[in-house]
Amino acid sequence: MGKKTLGEKLFDGFNYVFLTLFAFSAVYPFINILSISFSTPAAANAYGLKFIPKEFTLEAYRAVFDNKVIWTGYYNTIIRTGVGTALNVLFTVLCAYPLSKRYLPNRNLYTSLIVFTMFFSGGLIPTYLLIKSLGLLDNRLVLILPGLIAAFSMIIVRNYFMSLPEEIEESAKIDGANDVRILFSIVLPVSLPIIATIALWYAVAHWNAWFDALLYISDPNKTVLQTVLYKIIIQGSPQFQQFETFDPSVQSVTPDIIKAATVMVATVPILCVYPFIQKYFVKGVMIGSLKG
């Protein structure tokens, strides 16, 4: 390659500056809220970049962790994410595998019907009435069953299965393996990358879900973390209002700082695992896009 022209150098310079600013804007809000969650009310109320907490204090976290609702939410979210993801993956695979077989009668009809649901659904009220008449209101299963198979993930897994060479399965069949055996001992082990990808998709979706719990769950013992967050952050629910009755001059935390700490409590688990799992996500998007 020859020497760079002036225009190219200018562009490169601009590009680096721009992308640095962009990356900064992607993380700054998190740093900001983290810093506020460790600050005293006076420091949090001051203008500033808020990179490092001034007047460091753990009061907000003490208040948050003293609250039983947060722990209930955490517990339910963890159960939901664990059980839900396992069932999601199992049923997605069980649905995708037969649909990947060319000799399945009416295969394209089934697939089209499933794809149709990606674009068309009954809507909020019919779904709500359905859940109600199934007797799933206030049942933990309601957080898992309606979204048991995501059409999009199913299609991606199906396409992946279809890309596997058929000869391996044929030879296994000759050796006397039945379909279940083939799926679990031969197909799944070679499909681990895609399985890991959809498992992560499902897990993040479960972790972040709040609307279904808001809609279908009224028992406070069954609520999930994001719904607790919704009630604290958006509705400003009275969970933490007791702090406002304090004399403001000696007040150690305000609702705003409590909110900041609550946000961090819900976000930190994702921030911790994120650097390790993001490459699987990326891989999944690519598999989906290239074969889709």
Residue 93 or residue 263: which is nearer to another protein going by CB? Answer: 263
Q: How far apart are CA 276 and CA 279, in angstroms?
A: 7
Examine residue 256 and tell whether it contacts another protein (CB under 8 A).
yes
> Pick from 10, 13, 17, 23: which binds another protein (CB under 8 A)?
23
What CA–CA distances, in Å, run from 167 to 105, 163, 164, 170? 21, 12, 9, 5
- Pattern 162-201, another protein, x by CB under 8 A: ----------------------------------------
Token pair belonging to 264: 């961090």
Examine residue 208 and tell whether it contacts another protein (CB under 8 A).
yes
Q: Cα angle at 263 between 262 and 264, to 5 degrees?
A: 90
Residues 215 to 254 in contact with another protein, rule: CB under 8 A? 215, 226, 229-230, 233-234
Q: How far apart are CA 62 and CA 45, in angstroms?
A: 20
> Pick from 3, 25, 247, 250: which binds another protein (CB under 8 A)?
25
Examine residue 130 and tell whether it contacts another protein (CB under 8 A).
yes
Binding residues vs another protein (CB under 8 A): 1, 5, 7-8, 11-12, 15-16, 18-20, 22-23, 25-30, 32-33, 36, 44-50, 119-130, 204, 208-211, 215, 226, 229-230, 233-234, 256, 259-260, 262-263, 266-267, 270-271, 274-275, 278, 281-282, 285-286, 289-290
